[in-house]
Amino acid sequence: MTESDAQQDGRTLSRRADGGSPRRHAVVIGGGLAGLLAAHVLAEHADRVTLVERDRFPEEPASRSGVPQDRHVHVMLESGQNALEMLLPGINAELRELDVPRLGMPDDIVQWQAGRWYRRTAATTHILTGSRPLTDWAVRRRVLSGPRIEVVEGVEVTGLAGDARRVRGVRLRDRGAVVGKEPRVLEADLVVDASGRSSRAPAWLAALGAEPPHEELLDSGLAYASAVYRASRDGDSPFGGVYVVANATQPLGAVLLPIEDDRWFVTLSGMRGSEPPTDEAGFTEFAARLPHPVLHEWLLKAEPVSPVHGFRKTANLRRRYDRPGRRPAGFLATGEALCAFNPVYGQGMSVAALSALALREALSDPRRVPTTHRVQRALFAAARPAWDISAGADKKMPGATGNAVGSRTVDRPVDWYLHRVEQRATGNPVVGAAFRRVLSLSAPATSLFAPSVARAVLFGPVPWTPPEPPLEPETDATAR
């Protein structure tokens, strides 16, 4: 791209240089969380933002086909909560008013990882555990109240308008329209793809004569299944949740977390060849194969209130739009259209919020012209820490496949160090707090090498941890 092209590209995304009102039209493909938050940010920089969604939004919180994972456990990490609050002030309070639970880690959770139970010491981070339909509905209600945002529902994008130098809109057709009917063009100065991991944008770009992005794929073969329950009425659960983290030597995982309306989500996971069944009896029996019967015993007393739903599209997939290539100005990818993670790590919603915040900062930076490539690199950087965690863990799983599986010699000492971090995080509060900050995307991985953490990791013994699931959080009297 020449200097003049870059200047013209920047004017597409930025406010008027004279400080006047925003101008131009932006189109966002996909009405999930990433698309909604991107549209909200773009409304600060455009006269009009059109959100194009294949589904029709439900009036109340409800599952929909456009969010295939919304029948499974979702969490909003602390970093995502903070980003969401900066984008939509007051939204976290609204979610709490809607009965979304807030849990502290590690004190509220019975957690097994690396062959050990975590001590339930004082919380150093918190998660929100409301259902995905409720979270989407609350955010959608706030975002779509904006006067510059309009929604086109029941319509699918069939391609991009423009050429290899610049995208100038999208081609639309009504969902279910007669095959062969000529699509209509919705003109736009900027198109943002937030259509998810099944994005067809690489093929659309190729059709314009542009270069599709290189794709990085890492598939651990993990599959999971989920169902909603009501807890036994024999008494309150002695914990806020259960989390069994799978690893290369113990490939079965589980999550039990509360959601709104006094219900609980249970998700069970297994690697290729050990997939959890989707019938109620088989689902319950599968839980008996976990390292400890604590969750199985809970399930035997609980009341199922939904069918069991399975999910297998768990590969980590990253599209490298950040790399140089023959691509048009006026096109961006965000959310899972840019970087999709194994959902078992619970990062997707938080990365959607962090990416929208990165989009806002890139478009508003007074020091730099917000060219398409510069903004795309900012979106890539927002998703990178989550990719490093998810893909980094999955590449160690037996049978992992894909072009991103290979490890480098330089990774070996880092992997050795991180293994020691995992061992000590379960019982050492200093190491555990640092580890949770990284996993919650609140601190960079380099923070694990801070002096106080490194001393405990390199020279400290493997700390004591409970031999059985700790059913009560520690107090000053019970702490060791």
Distance between CA atoms of 296 and 178, rounded to whole angstroms?
Answer: 50
Distance between CA atoms of 271 and 246, rounded to whole angstroms?
Answer: 9
Distance between CA atoms of 393 and 411, rounded to whole angstroms?
Answer: 12
The rounded percent of the chain whose pLDDT value lies above 70 is 93
Three-state SS for 231?
Answer: coil
> What average pLDDT does range 41-56 have in this prediction?
96
pTM: 0.94
Query: Does residue 19 have a pLDDT over 60?
Result: no
What pLDDT was estimated at residue 2?
Answer: 39
Q: Mean of the per-residue pLDDT values for the chain?
A: 92
> What average pLDDT does range 18-42 have in this prediction?
86
Query: Does residue 328 have a pLDDT over 80?
Result: yes
> What average pLDDT does range 179-198 have in this prediction?
91
Handedness of CA 316, 321, 326, 329 (dihedral sign): positive
Structure tokens at 414: 């880092």
- List, by residue range, all CATH 3.30.70.2450 domains of the chain: 222-311
Beta bridge partners of 128: 76, 102
Three-state SS for 240?
Answer: coil
**DSSP secondary structure string, 1-50?**
--HHHHHHHHHHHSPPTTS----SEEEEE--SHHHHHHHHHHTTT-SEEE
The CATH number for 222-311, chosen from 3.30.70.2450, 1.10.3210.10, 3.30.420.40, 3.30.830.10, is 3.30.70.2450
Question: With bands split at pLDDT 50, 70 and 90, how would you rate the model's confidence at 90?
Answer: very high
What pLDDT was estimated at residue 179?
Answer: 67
Question: With bands split at pLDDT 50, 70 and 90, how would you rate the model's confidence at 7?
Answer: very low
Residue for token pair 């199985």: 296
Say if residues 451 and 430 touch (Cβ distance below 8 Å).
Answer: no
Minimal CA–CA distance to 402: which of 276, 317, 277, 275?
Answer: 317
> What average pLDDT does range 347-370 have in this prediction?
95
Q: What is the gyration radius of the CA atoms in the chain, in angstroms? A: 23
Query: Does residue 17 have a pLDDT over 60?
Result: no
- Rounded to the nearest 10 degrees, what angle do helices 78-87 and 348-364 cross at? 40
- For residue range 371-424, list pLDDT tens digits in order: 999 999 999 999 999 999 999 999 999 889 999 998 777 788 999 999 999 999
- List, by residue range, all CATH 3.50.50.60 domains of the chain: 3-69+137-217+314-392
What pLDDT was estimated at residue 410?
Answer: 73
The one-character DSSP state at 411 is H
The rounded percent of the chain whose pLDDT value lies above 90 is 84
Distance between CA atoms of 383 and 49, rounded to whole angstroms?
Answer: 24
Minimal CA–CA distance to 267: which of 393, 405, 175, 129?
Answer: 129
Q: How many other β-carbons are positioned within 10 Å of the β-carbon of residue 151?
A: 19
Say if residues 450 and 217 touch (Cβ distance below 8 Å).
Answer: no
Give φ, ψ of 371 to 5 degrees.
Answer: -65, 160
Distance between CA atoms of 278 and 187, rounded to whole angstroms?
Answer: 45
Give φ, ψ of 28 to 5 degrees.
Answer: -115, 125
Handedness of CA 37, 26, 200, 361 (dihedral sign): negative
CA distances from 73 to 215, 234, 243, 258, 306 (A): 27, 24, 12, 9, 13
Between 216 and 250, the more confident residue is 216
The one-character DSSP state at 73 is -
Minimal CA–CA distance to 101: which of 239, 307, 295?
Answer: 239
The CATH number for 3-69+137-217+314-392, chosen from 2.40.50.140, 3.50.50.60, 3.40.720.10, 3.30.70.1450, is 3.50.50.60
Query: Does residue 176 have a pLDDT over 80?
Result: no
Handedness of CA 215, 221, 227, 233 (dihedral sign): negative
> What average pLDDT does range 320-327 have in this prediction?
95
> What average pLDDT does range 299-328 have in this prediction?
95
What pLDDT was estimated at residue 14?
Answer: 55
- Rounded to the nearest 10 degrees, what angle do helices 411-425 and 429-439 cross at? 120
